Structures are given as structure tokens and as C-alpha cells.
Amino acid sequence: MADINKKPVSHSRTTITELMLPTHPNIDNKIVGEVLLSQMSKAAFACATRHTNNFCVMVSMDDIEFVQPIEVGEIVNSKASINYVGNTSVVVGVRVESENLKTGMVKHTGSGYFTMVAKGDDGRPTNAPGLVLENEDDVRRFLAAMIRKEVKLLGKVQFNEKIKKINVFEDIKKLKKERCEIGFEW
Ligand SMILES: CC(C)(COP(=O)(O)OP(=O)(O)OC[C@H]1O[C@@H](n2cnc3c(N)ncnc32)[C@H](O)[C@@H]1OP(=O)(O)O)[C@@H](O)C(=O)NCCC(=O)NCCS
């Protein structure tokens, strides 16, 4: 059946902007990660809810990175757009930029990918509209999201297989090269 209920990426593109004040949690005038993560997740929520017209809940955050510090007094923009649509889930990519108001310099300070699930009035996951990709970047982001999903799933399977095989008595030898020591009687 044709999916007539598609929406373009531009329909739900969302930016949340905030001035970083001295009252924001900070250390040495640099804004702490929780402030940025909070703004990023609000942008992801607003973007996913705009796309689906249903309240969305977050199921997963992936590849969260903070690459440069943000100073008190800078403006922070969290720019969110739908990268991928599954059945009931959407992946929202969020790019964080800070702007120095005096110099006008804009820095890319972080990014992350939020999987959000649309919930219907009955509280159960409900189908999200499909996505109209409007340019080459949208296509690249959709393909990248497919790869991220596949790699994550594969990584999860491999991780679970490996941790099942941990033999503490055998594997303790591996710690010799690590920067730790056994601090109790073995
Ligand atoms: C989100 C939630 C409703 C999913 O319920 P569920 O019964 O597991 O539903 P499903 O298994 O059908 O999964 C729904 C979708 O989520 C996706 N999903 C579930 N877990 C996921 C994970 N860890 N990472 C990525 N996607 C995930 C599924 O792939 C599916 O996507 P699709 O429909 O596009 O294929 C449920 O897990 C929940 O309520 N979690 C708590 C959310 C929350 O409170 N978040 C914090 C506050 S916003």
C-alpha cells in the first residue's frame, strides 16, 4: 500500500536556542554536558513530535559527542532534523553549535542521534509518517542512520557473546597490561 502520509524533512526541522548564563551549571565558566544533553533531547522531542503529531518517547541516544567547550555568555543552538523513519520510531540527528555574540564566531560543539518512538492515545507505539528526502544531505543522513542501526545491532550481538564468555579466573591475566590493580584479597 502506498504511504500517502509522508512528510518532508523540512516540515519538522527544529532549533532550540538558549543563552548560557552564569546560573547554568558550569565549571570554570564552561557549560557542563548535562545542560547540552537536556537541550539536545528537547530539540529531538520537538522535532519527532512535529513529524509524527504524536508525543514521542526517547528509547536510545547514540554517538553523543562533545567536541569543543562552550563558554558562559555564548548562545547555544541545538538543530534537530529527522534522519530516518522506521515503523513507529524515528531517528533525530541533533547538531549543537555555539555562537560568541561579540565576535559572531560559530563553533560546532557537539552532536548526537536520538531514537524516538511515537505513542498513540492508547499509550502504545503507533506508526510514524514516512519521510520525503529533499536533498543529497537528507539521503546521506538516511543511509547513515540505516548503517548506524545495523552496526549497533551487530555490536550488541557481539558484545553479548563476548561477555557471556568472560572467565574471571582466566581473563584476569588480561588486566596486567591495564591501568588497574586488584585492591582486595583474591
Ligand atoms: C518505547 C517503548 C514504548 C517501546 O515499546 P515496545 O513494546 O518495546 O515496542 P517495540 O518493540 O514495538 O519497539 C518500538 C520501536 O522502538 C524501537 N526500539 C525499541 N528499543 C530500541 C532501542 N534500544 N534502540 C533503538 N530502537 C529501539 C523498535 O525497533 C521499534 O521501532 P520500529 O517500530 O520503527 O521498527 C517502550 O520501550 C517505552 O515506553 N520505553 C520507555 C521510554 C521512556 O520512558 N523514555 C524516557 C522518557 S522520554
Domain ranges for the chain, please list them: 7-134
CATH code for the part of the protein at 7-134: 3.10.129.10
Percent of the chain with pLDDT over 70: 98
Q: What is the mean pLDDT of the chain?
A: 96
Do 118 and 48 meet the contact criterion of CB atoms below 8 Å apart?
yes
pLDDT at 56 over 80: yes
Can you tell me which atom of ligand 1 is nearest the CA of 85? Answer: 34
> What is the 9 CA–ligand 1 centroid distance (Å)?
22
Average pLDDT (42-61) is 97
Give the residue from 123, 114, 149, 126 showing the smallest Cα distance to 42.
114
pLDDT at 111 over 90: yes
pTM: 0.94
Q: How sure is the predictor about 122, in pLDDT bands with cuts at 50, 70 and 90?
A: very high
pLDDT at 2 over 60: no
Question: Burial code of 10-41, b = ≥16 C-beta within 10 A, e = fewer?
Answer: ebbebebebebeeebebeeeebeeebbbebbb
Percent of the chain with pLDDT over 90: 97
C-beta of 61 in contact with ligand 1 (< 6 A): no
**Residues facing 14 on adjacent strands:** 80
Can you tell me which atom of ligand 1 is nearest the CA of 88? Answer: 33
DSSP H or E run through 62 = strand 56-66
Do 11 and 136 meet the contact criterion of CB atoms below 8 Å apart?
no
**Residue 3 confidence (pLDDT):** 66
Rg of the chain over Cα atoms, rounded to whole angstroms, equals: 21
Q: List pLDDT tens digits, range 66-102.
A: 999 999 999 999 999 999 999 999 999 999 999 999 9
Q: In this structure, which amino acid lies at residue 184?
A: F
Do 47 and 11 meet the contact criterion of CB atoms below 8 Å apart?
no
**Residue 5 confidence (pLDDT):** 87
Q: List pLDDT tens digits, range 154-182.
A: 999 999 999 999 999 999 999 999 999 99
Average pLDDT (12-40) is 95
Sign of CA dihedral 153, 155, 156, 160: positive
> What is the 115 CA–ligand 1 centroid distance (Å)?
8
